[in-house]
Each structure stands twice: as C-alpha cells, then as structure tokens.
Amino acid sequence: MEFTIEGLDDLVRQLEKAGQDVEKGKEEALVAGAEVMQKETKNSAPRRTGNLILNIEISPIDGEEIFVFVDNQGKAYYGHMLENGTSKMAARPFMGPAFNRSRLKISQAMANKMRQRLGWGL
C-alpha cells in the first residue's frame, strides 16, 4: 500500500519558519520587557544630578537572560549604595519597587511581542 500526503513539505517549511520566529520572538520579548523595566526604573530613580538616570542600562541578551542595571563604573557608581544602603546611609531602593510596580506591564509587553512575532495579533 502506498499513499502520499500533499502539502507536507509546505507544513514542514512553516514549522521550521515558526521555530525561527519563536527564537527571534523570545529575544524581542526579552528586550520589550527590559525596556519597560528600564523606563519604570528611570521614573523611580532619585534625581539629583541626573547621572543615575543616564546610567540605567539594558544588558545584551545572554542565553535567555537580560538585565536592567545601573552602570556602576562611571558617574553613577553610587547606584547600588542607594538601592541597598550602606553602614552610614539607609537604603533608598528604586529598582526593586520599580520591578514590583511594573511586573504586569513587563509580562504584557513580552507576551504582546511574542504574539506579534507569531502573527497572532494583539
């Protein structure tokens, strides 16, 4: 007995393309979530000289991780001191509260980006 399934090659190509779209979509989703976190962190950060806000950055994607961080190597070297406090200064956290406030927005931004990549609409 012999039979042929028509359209199988097309289906395989679509699945392969979907796999590529999913990988690209994951990266785009990570960036979208990080951008929401970065914006919320900048809005929450103490403003004195503006250096702290200018140095809240997004890391490159590493595997399946991305980070929003304060670049402590330059003029905003004190970012971690504000967030965690020191032996002589109480903590004035801004990143943790920003994350807690924007958790839902981050998830929504990431989900929307994946939907958009997969062509599912919003």
pLDDT tens, 52-79?
Answer: 999 999 999 998 889 999 998 889 999 9
CA distance 70 to 93: 12
> Does residue 9 have a pLDDT over 90?
no
% of the chain exceeding 70 in pLDDT:
80
CA distance 13 to 77: 50
Give the end-to-end CA distance of the chain in Å, rounded to a whole number. 46
pLDDT tens, 32-43?
Answer: 999 999 999 999
pTM for the whole structure: 0.80
